[in-house]
Amino acid sequence: MHTPIRIGTRESQLAVWQATTVQQLLQQNGFAAKLVYIKSDGDIDLKTPLYEMGVQGIFTRSLDIALLNGSIDIAVHSMKDVPTQLPKNIVQCAVLERASFKDILVLNSQWSMVNGQWLLASDATTEFQISNSKLVIATSSIRRKAQWLHRYPKHTIENLRGNVNTRLKKLAESNWHGAIFAGAGLERINLRPANSIDLDWMLPAPAQGAIMVVCREGNTTCFEACQHFNHAQTALCTQIERNFLRALMGGCSTPISALAQIQNNQVQFKGNIVAVDGSAKVEIEKTVLVSEATDLGYIAAKEILQQGAKAIVDTINHAN
């Protein structure tokens, strides 16, 4: 039996689920492994909106430090939280098969939705169309905020931070109408409420729903151990999405969305960028053969900049 591979993870229920999944995959391939718990900066400050914290990798930095100083051997991340440029001497060693990439709206328990109408649970006569009312929706994601305001400009967005358990609790205790979550995060730990709705119109964050494993450069034992469960199609699609993000701005706290999917040996790509206040949106769609998809993210980024995205990018850059 090999010396146990030390897996670095944040302490949240979802992060531990992800790390435990990697631990089980390693064990299935003959590698002993154990979890090492590390608190991240993003878990400590639960009040400041993510887009105001002014730093990339807010949820990954502490794990990166532990990896580089030898406290752990590999780190497990929600891939959408990982900066597009990995720190020096850290390399991607596996991407797990993607779960749901969708964002979902979780309704406050006071409300339900029927055929696009919001109903007050205690008063069935109180109903109104979502698009024509001044609802309050919670999220800490600038991408979700921008897309929501683009679709529903009369609504108000409130900041909502914390792990998924904390956010669900805050929603239940609030007067908000609902809050936006990543579907995969709630589904993986069996916390998706019955009163939740897939936001099929909302394009996800690059690499949303995917899990990335990283190790120190040159650690061939860990790299090769993790390659046993690397999912090539997910790795390709998420790399395309992250290249699109990197070519436009490079940060994870930006209103940039991307989704690549493989069907019939073709990669179907959708991407967009939305003004922070929702006032403008530019989008792009492209389909290429898998064999020609390596640079698809960069190509799509170049084209969307020429189609009007540069003005939005410049506005965001000037505001920072």
Q: Is 312 helix (H, G, I), strand (E, B) or coil?
A: helix
d(CA 71, CA 22) in angstroms, rounded, equals: 18
Is 81 catalytic? The answer is: yes
Rg (CA), the chain: 20
Dump pLDDT digits (tens) for 100-159: 999 999 988 876 666 666 555 554 444 445 555 778 999 989 999 999 999 999 999 999
pTM for the whole structure: 0.88
Pairing mode, strands 74-78 and 5-9:
parallel
Would you tell me which CATH number, out of the four given (3.40.190.10, 1.10.10.350, 3.40.1650.10, 1.10.340.30), belongs to the domain 103-198? 3.40.190.10
Residues 16-41, mean pLDDT to the nearest whole number: 94
Give the model's pLDDT for residue 126. Answer: 43
Spacing of C-alpha 30 from chain mean position: 31
Give the model's pLDDT for residue 135. Answer: 87
Biggest alpha carbon distance in the chain? 65
Give the model's pLDDT for residue 316. Answer: 85
Which among 43, 64, 73, 81 is annotated as catalytic? 81
Q: Kindly state the tokens that stand for 304.
A: 């969307």
Q: Is 29 left (phi over 0), alpha (psi -120 to 50) or beta?
A: alpha
Dump pLDDT digits (tens) for 159-183: 998 889 999 999 999 989 999 999 9
Residues 211-231, mean pLDDT to the nearest whole number: 98
Would you tell me which CATH number, out of the four given (3.40.190.10, 3.30.360.10, 1.10.10.10, 3.30.420.40), belongs to the domain 1-96+210-230? 3.40.190.10
d(CA 82, CA 137) in angstroms, rounded, equals: 26
d(CA 262, CA 249) in angstroms, rounded, equals: 25
Give the model's pLDDT for residue 50. Answer: 39
Dump pLDDT digits (tens) for 181-197: 999 999 999 999 988 88
Which residue, among 177, 159, 142, 94, has the nearest Cα to 252 in the 3D structure?
142
Give the model's pLDDT for residue 317. Answer: 81
For the structural domain made of 231-320, what CATH number should be given?
A: 3.30.160.40
More confident residue, 56 or 253: 253
Dump pLDDT digits (tens) for 91-102: 999 999 999 999
Give the model's pLDDT for residue 119. Answer: 58
Residues of the chain with CATH 3.40.190.10: 1-96+210-230, 103-198
**Are residues 251 and 242 in contact, defined by beta-carbon separation less than 8 angstroms?**
no
